């Protein structure tokens, strides 16, 4: 933790960055995002197992971006998100420095995003055993049982959009659901509208989701909406050979590879 604070101070004091995004102690036993703009504040920085919020969601926010060059404390899912954002031209070496944090809470100083990518590529996106079990159970259901499962799960949703706010990939300045000429996705929270919203979100994250679970963690009703994106990760693997966020910008759904087993897109 001292390393982290030292590094943050150094970055601020040398004017390498204008703001360092990290975690601080929140209310109760929770942590929250901290934006370090001067070195005294850096002492508030913490890092422990409670720090699961995906901070990459902030680097695309105008309020943070407008401060100037940013640095971010980044665990593996955050780093993945950063690489995906870079491939979508949202961040680059000129506006972001990544302070990596290993699972052993060690600090890694990355010189550039390419190094971050190299680090990220050591690890595959894998669904954990507990969620895989649930997905298998869902797969075994009949379509009508599955339909009922999702109606039951999603009907309490009152569309607070906390999932969207927490997701690092949901950075669009105008979300599909806010598009109202015409209003393809209904805004009111009813059974069908809720389904449409969450399915649409899962589709938009296909090939992009970094499996950080920020959406499910943010949901005040603890709806397991990450199952939808996890299922899409599984399908992307079985139908398209899977993906890794990459600076080459090869989007899973729009990039044709000669060794693709389907050749319809040629």
Partner 1 sequence: MAKIGVFICHCGENISATVDCAKVAEVVGKYDGVAISLDYKYMCSDPGQNLIKKAIVEKGLTGVVVASCSPRMHEPTFRKACAEAGLNPYMCEMANLREHCSWVHEKGEATTQKAIDLVRTIVEKVKHNQSLDAIKVPVTKTALVIGGGIAGIQASLDIANSGHKVILIEKDPSIGGHMSQLSETFPTLDCSQCILTPRMVEVAQHPNITLYTYAELESIDGFIGNFKVKIRKKAKSIDEKICTGCGLCTTKCPNKKNPSEFNEGLGNRTAIYVPFPQAVPNKPVIDKALCTYYTKGKCKICEKFCPAHAIRFDQEDEIIEVPVGAIVLATGFAVKKTDFFPEYGYGRHPDIITGLQFERLASASGPTLGEIRRPSDGKIPETIVFVACAGSRDEAKGIPYCSKICCMYTAKHAMLYQHKVHGGKSYVFYMDIRAGGKMYDEFVRRAIEEDGVNYIRGRVSRVYEKNGKLIVKGADTLLGAMPVEIEADMVVLATAGVANEGAEELAQKLHVSYDPYHFFAEAHPKLKPVETNTAGIFLAGACQAPRDIPESVAMASGAAAKVAGLFSQDELTREPLIAVVNRQAPPVFSSCVGCFLCMSACPYHAIEKEEIKNRQGEVLKTVAKVNPGLCQGCGTCVAFCRTKSIDIQGYTHEEVYSEVMALLND
**Can you give the binding site for partner 1, defined by CB under 8 A?**
88-90, 171-176, 179, 181-182, 184, 204, 249-251, 253-255, 266
- Tell me the three-class secondary structure of the chain, residue by residue: CHHHHHHHHHHHHCCCCCEEEEEEECCCCCEEEEEECCCCHHHHCECCCCCCCCHHHHCCCHHHHCCCCEEEEECHHHHHHHHHHHHCCCCCCCCEEEEEECCCCCEEECCCHHHHHHHHCCCCCCCCHHHHHHHHHHHHCCHHHHHHHHHHHHCCCCCCCHHHHHCCCCCCCCCHHHCCCCCCCCCCCCHHHHHHHHHHHHHHHCCCCCCCCHHHHHCCCCCCCHHHHHHHHHHHHHHHCCCCCCCCCCCCCCCCCCCCCCCCCC
Nearer to partner 1, 100 or 168 (CB): 168
Reply yes or no: is the peptide bond before residue 130 cis, omega within 30 of 0. no
How do strand 96-101 and strand 107-109 relate by DSSP bridges? antiparallel
CB of 160 to partner 1, least distance (A): 20
Nearer to partner 1, 38 or 95 (CB): 95
Tokens (6 digits) for 232: 């899409």
CB of 179 to partner 1, least distance (A): 4
Nearer to partner 1, 73 or 87 (CB): 87
CB of 240 to partner 1, least distance (A): 14
CB of 264 to partner 1, least distance (A): 11
Nearer to partner 1, 165 or 172 (CB): 172
Contact (Cβ atoms closer than 8 angstroms) between residue 69 and residue 16: yes
Nearer to partner 1, 83 or 99 (CB): 83
Nearer to partner 1, 44 or 69 (CB): 69
CB of 95 to partner 1, least distance (A): 12
Nearer to partner 1, 99 or 167 (CB): 167
CB of 235 to partner 1, least distance (A): 18
Give dist(CA 68, CA 266) in Å, integer. 42
CB of 6 to partner 1, least distance (A): 35
């Amino acid at each position: 933790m001292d390393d982290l604070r030292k590094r943050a101070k150094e970055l601020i004091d040398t004017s390498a960055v204008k703001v360092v995004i990290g975690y601080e102690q929140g209310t109760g036993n929770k942590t929250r995002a901290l934006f370090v703009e001067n070195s005294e504040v850096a002492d508030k920085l913490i890092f422990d197992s409670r720090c699961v919020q995906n901070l990459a969601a902030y680097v695309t926010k105008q309020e943070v971006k407008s401060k100037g060059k940013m640095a971010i404390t980044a665990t593996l899912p955050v780093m993945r998100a950063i690489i995906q954002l870079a491939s979508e031209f949202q961040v680059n070496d000129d506006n972001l420095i990544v302070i990596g944090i290993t699972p052993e809470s060690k600090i890694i100083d990355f010189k550039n995003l390419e190094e971050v990518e190299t680090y990220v590529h050591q690890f595959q996106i894998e669904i954990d055993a507990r969620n895989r079990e649930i997905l298998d159970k869902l797969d075994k259901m009949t379509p009508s049982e599955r339909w009922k499962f999702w109606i039951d799960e999603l009907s309490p949703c009152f569309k607070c959009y906390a999932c969207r706010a927490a997701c690092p990939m949901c950075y669009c300045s105008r979300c599909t659901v806010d598009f109202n000429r015409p209003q393809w996705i209904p805004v009111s929270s009813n059974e069908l509208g809720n389904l449409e919203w969450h399915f649409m979100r899962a589709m938009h994250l296909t090939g992009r989701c970094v499996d950080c679970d920020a959406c499910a963690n943010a949901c005040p009703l603890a709806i397991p909406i990450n199952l939808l994106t996890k299922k899409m990760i599984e399908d992307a693997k079985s139908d398209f050979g899977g993906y890794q966020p990459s600076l080459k910008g090869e989007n899973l759904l729009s990039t044709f590879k000669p060794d693709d087993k389907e050749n319809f897109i040629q």
